[in-house]
Amino acid sequence: MFYYPPDGDYNRVPYETNIQVMVYENVQNENYAMHWHTATEIIMPLEGAYEAVLLKKEFSLRENDILIIPSQELHSLSVPPSAENGRRFILMFEPTLLYSLSGLSDLIPVLYNLNLITPEQMPALHKTARALLLAIREEYWQGDALKNAAIYTKIIELYIALVRYYSNGNKLLAIYPEITFGGGGGVRKNRRQEYVARLSGVFEYIENHLLEDLSLEQVADIANFSKFHFSRIFKEFTNLSFNHYIQQKRVKKAEALLLNPTYSIADAALDAGFKSISTFNRIFRKIKHYTPSEYKKMFISQP
């Protein structure tokens, strides 16, 4: 069950496809009262200003400023009188799109911090992010059969750029106070940030022990949560149950192994962490909607 922020409406994002990405240009002179959604939202004014309120902090966005609103964050949006003929590029996507990536423990602090990217304070990152957002806009309006796949790829590129910037010791402009966890002795001022910090360690542990038996109880203990509390928090942040997440990670690893013509289906199953071929075949088909052997035939020419 999701955490429902108080004093705000839940908005369901009307995705056009099951890829769960939506791109549009907002030209309406319409204000949006406090609301939230499971999607991550990225806003970049193209003409005129735009205003946002998040966690009681006001943001006045100028043309080409980039604001990233994390999943489930309460916020409002408004058009200032000076920008009644303005245009805003808006990208919305479910963060589950990124959960198959390696290095997720580095991604989580970026994905769940509120980031403002401006040309003055982070020029190189802004240049990269703006170019990718404009490329996403171009792909969307091009409208061919591959547009959703192309947009998905560029979202990944954007977050790779954000993670690299963050990992190099730079600080993103976040609305949350800077908090140090663990041995750093920082003060816990935001429970959401505390959960982000604990889950970062969980994802890193899963990444490093994917081939081992991973139980809900074991991983909950690593995060210092009770089993039931961890299960709820994990589902809230990932929109996936713990077991489903592990299955998706292992299937993703198996996909890469199956592309190697020297790898048998049995070897790929075992080296991706599955304990039996029958379980592997069942879960692979459930997630990918085709069998491992069908997957191999898609990419490997048969003699």
Q: Which residue type sits at 277?
A: I
Dist. CA 95–CA 238, nearest whole Å: 7
Q: Is the pLDDT of residue 14 over 90?
A: no
Helix or strand holding residue 58 (H, E): strand 57-61
Does the residue 2 lie in any domain? Answer: no
pLDDT at 200: 76
Pairing of strands 66-69, 75-78: unpaired
Q: Is there a single domain that holds both residue 231 and residue 254?
A: no
Q: Is there a single domain that holds both residue 79 and residue 195?
A: no
Mean pLDDT for the chain overall:
82
Q: Is there a single domain that holds both residue 15 and residue 136?
A: yes
The answer to whether residues 292 and 250 touch, using CB atoms and an 8 Å cutoff, is no
Q: Is the pLDDT of residue 152 over 90?
A: no
pLDDT at 18: 65
pLDDT at 96: 77
pLDDT at 130: 97
Q: Which of 214, 240, 266 is the last residue before a domain boundary? A: 240
Q: Is there a single domain that holds both residue 86 and residue 127?
A: yes
3-state secondary structure 8-28: CEECCCCCCCCCCEEEEEECC
Domain count, the chain: 3
Dist. CA 71–CA 9, nearest whole Å: 14
Q: How confident is the model at residue 94 (pLDDT cuts 50, 70, 90)?
A: confident
Assessment of whether the complete model's pTM goes beyond 0.75: no
Q: Is there a single domain that holds both residue 31 and residue 91?
A: yes
pLDDT at 256: 86
What burial class does residue 141 get, using C-beta atoms within 10 Å of its C-beta: 0-12 exposed, 13-18 middle, 19+ buried? exposed
Q: Is the pLDDT of residue 105 over 70?
A: no
Q: Which of 218, 240, 262 is the last residue before a domain boundary? A: 240
Higher pLDDT, 267 or 173: 267
Residue-wise pLDDT for 35-82, tens only, equals 988 889 999 999 999 999 987 789 999 999 999 998 878 899 999 998
Does the residue 177 lie in any domain? Answer: no
Does the residue 209 lie in any domain? Answer: yes
Q: Is there a single domain that holds both residue 27 and residue 73?
A: yes
Does the residue 281 lie in any domain? Answer: yes
Q: Is there a single domain that holds both residue 131 and residue 20?
A: yes
Q: Is the pLDDT of residue 180 over 60?
A: no
Task: State which residues form the domain around 210.
Answer: 182-240
Q: Is there a single domain that holds both residue 292 and residue 195?
A: no
Dist. CA 253–CA 272, nearest whole Å: 6
Q: Is there a single domain that holds both residue 88 and residue 192?
A: no
> CATH number of the domain that 117 lies in?
2.60.120.280
> CATH number of the domain that 276 lies in?
1.10.10.60
Q: Is there a single domain that holds both residue 145 and residue 213?
A: no
What is the arithmetic mean of pLDDT over 245-256? 89
Q: How confident is the model at residue 11 (pLDDT cuts 50, 70, 90)?
A: confident
- Other beta carbons within 10 Å of 287: 16
Q: Is the pLDDT of residue 26 over 70?
A: yes
The answer to whether residues 158 and 132 touch, using CB atoms and an 8 Å cutoff, is yes
Q: Is there a single domain that holds both residue 133 and residue 15?
A: yes
